[in-house]
Amino acid sequence: MKMNGCQRVSAETTGCGDCEPGLNARVPVMLAAVLAVAACGSGSDAPQSITTVSWGGSYGRAVNEGANIPFTEETGIRIEVEDYNGGLAQIRAQVDIGEIHWDVVDLEIADAVRGCDEGLLEPIDLASLPPGADGTPAEEDFVDDGRTECGVGNLYWSTVYAYNADNIPGEKPATMADFFDLEKFPGRRGMRRVPKVNLEFALIADGVPLDQVYATMDTPAGLDRAFAKLETIKDEVIWWEAGAQPPQMLADGEVTMTTAYNGRIFNAQVLEDQPFVIVWDGQLLDVGQVGIVAGTPRLEAALQYLAFATSAESMVRIARRISYSPMRKSGMGLVTTHVVAGVEMEPHMPASPANAANALRYDWAWWVDHADELNERFSAWLAR
């Protein structure tokens, strides 16, 4: 646990990229937050710096180069970056005690909604944000996906499945059904150890049309069907937790195919020359959100940063560093090539028309309702 200065309390982060909740964030984080807050008074002067909290890893670097550094150059407000692993636990601890030291936070959309409902996040008025690159007012420039009361959408990302071309001779997998087909493509599979995404993939592979997936999951029979489909490959699955694991398992030949975040696979393909192939079929298209912690004493600077970081220009700068699509219409066409590798980004983007054609839109509202019981059921199923 590192405490530098008065307001710095970071979870024990290990730079795991598109981090997931629950991996190495630890309970004492809360306590440390409590202590740090108790030890520091709240500064009421005009802030010279704000704290932004993000996922770290390659995504964190992209945000830093694409938004943070340009923001500081333009406004002179310094940015302290902290990494976290998602979840609302730390934000709630700060809000409960009333000593806020996080200002702007990258959120999963389900957390943005729950945090908003629970009063942990500031409501954001889209109209207050700057217009798009082509002058379109912000309210029209943002796509409809992932508009929430307290979160501003910034980037699309996908959970896809990928394989290592070197390890699959002959015919290559092309559909979601292939991922579950052990006869056609024998070998171990990697999947994230959560019910989310896996249940959807199972139903898609079982033949449920994309637009029927969540309706099917809403019925007990549909859930049974999803679990039954998962059961068919359960013995071959290696469950991962950290976003860094899937590309590693692919490279090591530990698994034949694995679900993964598309940005992770992209990085391995482009920067490490790995022969990985993403199968753009039935993948889950998700949106990232940026929100402001309710009650921050640096609200003005936080809003200033939020407006800057969710501008079309910032989104494009980030998207040229990691393959996540901008959520402003005016930004979509401006993403050209990767700043280092020089490759055309379009074929790698989760929201590009070709890739998104067979994508399933993540229904966060359904998951907000059912995460509790399904996590228990999933754990029970795993343990059996």
Partner 1 sequence: MGGGPGRRGRLRGAMRVPREQLRALGLVAPLLIFIGVTFIAALATMLMRSVHDPVVADALPETVALLRGWDGERLPAEAVYETAARELSRAGEERTIGQVAGRVNRVQGGLRSVFTRTARDLEDEAPDPAAATGTPWRDALIALDTAWADPATWHAIRTTGERFTSRNYLNAVDMDRLPDGTIARQPEERRIYLRLFWRTLLVSGAITILCLLLGYPIAHLIARAPPRRAALLLVLVLVPFWTSLLVRTTSWIVLLQTQGVINDILVAIGLVSDDGRLAMIYSMTGTLIAMTHVLLPFMVLPLYSVMRGIPPQHMSAAASLGATPLQAFLRVYWPQSLPGVGAGALLVFILSIGFYITPALVGGSDGQLISNMIAYHMQTSLNWGLAGALGGILLVGVLALYMVYDRLVGVERMGLH
The residues that touch partner 1, with contacts defined as CB under 8 A, are 14, 21-28, 30-31, 34-35, 38, 85-89, 92, 114-119, 193, 234, 237-239, 241-242, 245, 252-254, 365, 368-377, 379-383
Q: How many residues does the chain have?
A: 384
Q: Which is nearer to partner 1, 1 or 339 (CB)?
A: 1
Task: Give the shortest CB-47-to-partner 1 separation in angstroms.
Answer: 25
Q: Which is nearer to partner 1, 14 or 72 (CB)?
A: 14
Q: Is 275 helix (H, G, I), strand (E, B) or coil?
A: coil
Q: For the range 208-216, what are the long-range contacts, defined as Cβ-Cβ under 8 Å and sequence gap of 24 or more?
A: 210/282, 210/358, 210/359, 210/360, 213/360, 214/363, 214/366
Shortest CA distance to 295 belongs to which of 102, 126, 149?
Answer: 102
Task: Give the shortest CB-13-to-partner 1 separation in angstroms.
Answer: 10
Q: Which is nearer to partner 1, 24 or 358 (CB)?
A: 24
Task: Give the shortest CB-309-to-partner 1 separation in angstroms.
Answer: 25
Q: Which is nearer to partner 1, 320 or 370 (CB)?
A: 370
Task: Give the shortest CB-285-to-partner 1 separation in angstroms.
Answer: 21
Q: Which is nearer to partner 1, 17 or 47 (CB)?
A: 17
Q: Is 45 exposed, middle or buried (0-12, 13-18, 19+ CB in 10 A)?
A: exposed
Contacts of 340 (CB under 8 A, 6+ apart): 271, 321
Task: Give the shortest CB-88-to-partner 1 separation in angstroms.
Answer: 6
Shortest CA distance to 324 belongs to which of 235, 206, 243?
Answer: 243
The whole-angstrom separation of Cα 208 and Cα 277 is: 24
Task: Give the shortest CB-237-to-partner 1 separation in angstroms.
Answer: 7
Q: Which is nearer to partner 1, 8 or 234 (CB)?
A: 234
